[in-house]
Amino acid sequence: MDAHSIHSPFFFDFYEKVIRNKNHLPGFPDLEAVRERLLQSTMEIDQVDLGAPSKHFTGSKRALSKIARVSASPVDQCELLYRMVQYLQATSIVELGTSVGITTLYLARDPQVRVTTFEGNRDLITVAQTHFDYFQSRNIQLIEGNLDSTLSKFLQQPTKIHFALMDANHRQEPTVRYFHLLAKRMAEKGVIVIDDIYYSEEMERAWKILKVHELVYASVDLYRCGILFFDPALNRQHYIWSV
């Protein structure tokens, strides 16, 4: 990707400061220490898949170390999301899929933001909440339960959302449905990130549907995730970037 081939001033700046420029990020060794502890854990938890079946696990008992290795967002992805939140000056954030809470802690690193995160697995909630309590993260609200009921109830509140991360279910119909629910509450310059857009053919179809939605004015395909922009000033632009 050549930055000079990007003609939009906004996306040139976004590419340079968020996608390409990684030097200004101070790094968060305290958060990565959580990941290291999880990778060394011998604990097993009960896991019930509320969405698409996992490619990495069989059975209901799952090693926490493997969840941290294959399900939690890697450090470069967490740092990318943090840079996005900072660049967009997002203060109201929604995360669908808490998992072990590492990504949540990155999103909530700035005490000025408010993160509402949703998780359906009780054992994972216990793990994530332990991490939130350890860091005294009072700007995180964790909502337990199936997204099919908890998300719509939460979105009855009139609060506008500046940034949303969708990392749950990984099937076409629920992904599109959750997007439609979130879209009603997105701020004018809001952004939705959809993780694992090439996880399956279903997720690829969902991505193709959502990037041309009437409320989406621009999109960026990073392969690992897709970014949807709601700002009408962006004038229907779509990019594919490697990171």
pLDDT of residue 61: 81
Structural domains counted in the chain:
1
pLDDT of residue 122: 93
pLDDT of residue 113: 97
pLDDT (tens digit per residue) in 44-96: 887 665 555 555 445 568 898 998 898 889 999 999 999 999 999 999 999 99
Q: How far apart are CA 192 and CA 97, in angstroms?
A: 14
Residues of the chain with pLDDT under 50: 56-57
Instruction: Provide the residue type at 18 as one letter.
Output: V
Q: How far apart are CA 144 and CA 166, in angstroms?
A: 16
Q: How far apart are CA 200 and CA 206, in angstroms?
A: 10
pLDDT of residue 70: 86
Report helix, strand or coil for 67: helix
Cα→Cα distances 124→102, 107, 108, 151, 182, Å: 12, 18, 18, 18, 23
| Domain coverage including residue 161 | 3-240
Q: How much is the mean pLDDT over the chain?
A: 91
pLDDT of residue 19: 93
For the domain that residue 186 is a member of, what is the CATH number?
A: 3.40.50.150
Q: How far apart are CA 224 and CA 49, in angstroms?
A: 21
